[in-house]
Chain A
Amino acid sequence: MTVWNVDKNAEAKTMVITAEFKTSITNVWQLWADPRLLERWWGPPGFPATFEHHDLTPGGTITYFMSGPDGVDRFDGTWNVVEVDAPTRLVVEDAIVEDDGTPSDGNSMTRMEIDIEAAGDTTRMILITHFDSLEGMEQAIATGVHEGMKACMSQIDTLLAEVAA
């Protein structure tokens, strides 16, 4: 199990996830820094993400869309890059946008802070997600779950990958 600790605070609308990986800091960083790698894990199976624009510099913008197999459901997202300290720290603010590019929830800027650090012979990733509103949380969940997709599906994938390896 990669997820080491999850700390949730409903009052502050904040979640802190700590995960550890048996690899280098640079390798973990690459999964955020390389849009082709990022899109392989961001969206759930059946609802893949495509990162169109990926400017990983402070003030830069990252845009992506997610679409289902029918091509009808489409979800557009924009991240504003706040801080970049490669390969250890990344801060983005997430604004889910409508088709015309306007934020669908004016005040629901979700802040995501990613810290990557050495932890013995593993690499620890601490991810802090902060929400301004319950609506923002609902939107974040919508991008992660599609058509009743459950976590177990992904666990099956993991098992298959292990068997195949």
Chain B
Amino acid sequence: MNRTLLIAIREFKAVVFTKGFVLGILLTPVMVLVGVLAVKLIPEAPEMKVKVALIDQSGVTSDFARKRFGSEGAQAEAQRAAAEMTRQIDQATGQMGLNGPAVDAAKSQMQSTAAMVTGGAKSIALEVLDPSSNVDELKNQVKNAQVGLGAPQLMAVVVVPKEAVSGPLVEGKWPEHQVFIHPKLDFQIASIINRRMGDAIVDARITSDPRFSGAQLSPEAVRATFARPDPTPQALGREGDKPSMGAVQMIVPFAMMILLMLSVMTGGQYLMTALVEEKSNRVMEVLLSAVSPMQLMTGKIIGMMCVALLILTIYGGAGIAGLIVANLVDLIETSKLIWLAIFFFCAFFTIASMMAAVGAAVNDIREAQTFLTPVMLTVMLPWLMVMPISRAPNSTFATVLSFVPVMNPFVSVIRLGGSEPVPTWQLAVSAVIGVLTAFVTAWIAAKIFRIGVLMYGKPPNFTTLIRWVRMA
């Protein structure tokens, strides 16, 4: 068998067939999935039975409050919340007529969650008290209430002053009502109490205001009038108008960039760690008696490239599968995947060569940090510019950056996922620059590798590396 290939296979097996890799790379997505499912499977906590005392000094709020806290009000509130959730999901997926099972499942899940959060707390009992009730005594009752599942306990006191409904306004604002709650009251129940009382007070204000009552406008009609319209923008295209995908279209450049960085950097890190380890194990010279430094380095890079490709395939495949399930596969084009593959190879060989040179030159991982900083900065720079590049992929800035060696594969991948199509010739030029960069980096790395791999003791600096390149 070809020796370079033999080295590559050993390197691949040495990384992939380890518990660390399986746990770190393969199980991470599985764990996330299990985590999501586990949340669904956790049994709901038994509801707390809560009593709320209302002291209505306005005299008109209590009726609306009773409605809001009654079963009909809670149901209507749940329906409204569910409808709002559905609208937001539709907008997020672009209302593209895409009715995949994942979208349906998401809607159903969100609706039931909304219903649970809003209408689920049926056991909140409202008790309207005399306006002259002693507030301090009630507050003491709330403070001393036993939190438990027995008979409903007084957990909140709401005091609505007359001014909260009829005014006058103070500095343009309505005077507020007061809400006193037990410190251990569930935050969702507290939120429901607050919201329902707020709605009841607004209902009371609308009904009490002669401008509305004179015009025979109900609180619902007034609220509908004030609801802010929020239509989905229609993107104009050759195949007809389509709802704009909004933020969803950012998924692809982000995902492609993350995939590229994750696979390249993980593979590169494995390569460098393996080299440092082999150097400290003193196994390097044994290998060099059988193969040339170039064969050794190439074998290692190919082995780790397969590791990186495996990572890319696992995460990329999972991502594409997710898009297929969500019926969003239109976001991905085959040509883009091909370009992604091309830029992956350019980026990987460049970064891996750098990592190989660093791994061969240093004695331990600590020493490697000095050399890794510029490598990391070069890779991180495009990452920091994802937003401006993907929003204007054909800007002069993005175009020029996609021709700058080392970072060009990363920038080109972001441009590919951006909002405008990138001219093919620019991608081709970037790919050629990427290939040339990979070759030059590998050539320099091989020179450093040949000398560094047998050097022990004083850690080298950049000047030493340059000298090695000249020497080899």
Query: Are chains A and B native binding partners rather than an unrelated pairing?
Result: no
Footprint of A on B, CB under 8 Å?
none
